[in-house]
Amino acid sequence: MATEVNNEVRLSSDLSEGEIRATRNRRGRVQMCLHELLDVHFEENNVPNIVVLGSGGGLRAMIALLGTLVELKNQNILDAVMYLCGVSGSTWCMSMLYTDGKWSEKKKKKSLEENLIKILTVDSCDIGKEIKYLEESSEDEHYSLTDVWACVVYGILHQFDENKLTDYRDASESGINPYPIYAAVDKKKLSEAGASSPETWFEFTPHEAGYAALGAFVSTENFGSKFENGKLMEKKKEKSIFYMQGLWGSALGSMEEILKAILDYIKGLLKRLLSSCETRMCSPYGYGHESMSNTTEFSQTVLLLLELQICAVSGRDPEEVFNKLLKILSGK
C-alpha cells in the first residue's frame, strides 16, 4: 500500500493517515469477533478500541507477550484486539511477528512458538557482522551507546534484522493484524518527570514516530533526519529493525544498567575472541604457554581500560580498577 511521505513535522494530536486506514480496515474484523463472542452488535463507527499492552523485561517480556497472544488466538479473542503496543522485550516479540503479514490468522496456532524456539535455540550470532555494523555506525554523527546496545540485543535474540519498520506497513494496514505501536523511553524526561508521565514516552508506528503527549510527529522513514523550523533539511538513511530493537530497549532509560549490560557483553565477546586465539595457538606439541599468558594479560588489560572509561562516564570511583591495571602493567 503506497503511503505519501510527509517531509514536515506534523503538529497534531490526530491519528496519522496510515493509522486511520489501518484501524478502519481492522474495524470490521473486531466488530464481527465481538458479535460472535458476546452476542453484542456494535455500529461500525462505535467499535471499541481494545488494546493489548506488552511490558518491558527483556527476553521474559518477549516470551510472555507471545504466550499471551497465542492464548488469545486459541480462545478466539485475538481478532477483537485493535492495537498491540509494547516496550523493551515486548517490542522484540512484535518486530518478529510483523515480518509475517498474516501472523494473527487463527489457522496458524503453533507456528509462532516454533519460530521463536528456532530463533532462540540456534546460536547464529556472527561477530563479523557486529564488528562491521559498529564500524559503519561509528561514522554516523548520532553514533552512541544505542548502537552497542543493539549488538547486545542481537546476542540475546540471534537475529540481525535488516528490515525497516516501514516495511511492515502492509502487515499493519491490511486489517488482518492489530495495529502496532512501539514505545521508547526518553531518558531525560524519565529522570525529570518519571515513567508515569506521558512526556517520557516516544512512540513509533510503521507510519510515524514522535511524542504523543506533545502531538509532534515525523514520517517513520524520516526519523533521525535533520529538520529545521519543522521542514526536512537533510534526509538520513532509515534505521533497521536491528537498531530499533536496541533503541526500544527500556534499559536505555538507565545509564547504570546499560553500561553494566554493555560491559558484560564486551567481556563475553573478548572471552570468545580469546578462546579463538588460544585454539589457533595450539600446536602438535601443546599450547605456547608464554603466548597464551600474554594474550590473557592483553585481554584483562583491555577489559580494565573499558572499565576505566565506564567509571569516567558514570562517575564511579576508578581507584580499584586503576590499581588492578597498574598491577598487570607492572608485571606483579
Report the relative pairing of strands 51-54 and 10-11 from DSSP bridges.
Answer: unpaired
Mean local confidence (pLDDT), 282-296: 48
Do 187 and 298 belong to one domain? no
Do 79 and 160 belong to one domain? yes
Strand, coil or helix: 216: strand
Number of structural domains (the chain) is: 2
Do 54 and 123 belong to one domain? yes
State yes or no: pLDDT of 285 exceeds 50: no
Do 234 and 120 belong to one domain? yes
Residue 80 lies in a domain: yes
Amino acid 211: pLDDT: 93
pLDDT (tens digit, 9 = 90+) per residue, 234-273? 999 999 999 999 889 766 555 666 666 666 766 666 666 5
CA-CA distance, 131 to 317, in Å (whole number)?
Answer: 30
Residue with cell 565477546: 269
Find out whether 50 and 78 touch, Cβ atoms under 8 Å. Answer: no
11 forms beta bridges with 216
219 forms beta bridges with 208
Show the domain range for 274.
254-329
Do 187 and 145 belong to one domain? yes
Model confidence at 298, pLDDT cuts 50, 70, 90, reads low
CA-CA distance, 299 to 287, in Å (whole number)?
Answer: 17
- Please report, for the domain that includes residue 185, its CATH number: 3.40.1090.10
Amino acid 291: pLDDT: 46
Model confidence at 144, pLDDT cuts 50, 70, 90, reads confident
Nearest to 169 by CA among 92, 99, 239, 109: 99
Task: Give percent of the chain above pLDDT 70.
Answer: 73
More confident residue, 301 or 139: 139
State yes or no: pLDDT of 178 exceeds 80: yes
Amino acid 216: pLDDT: 94
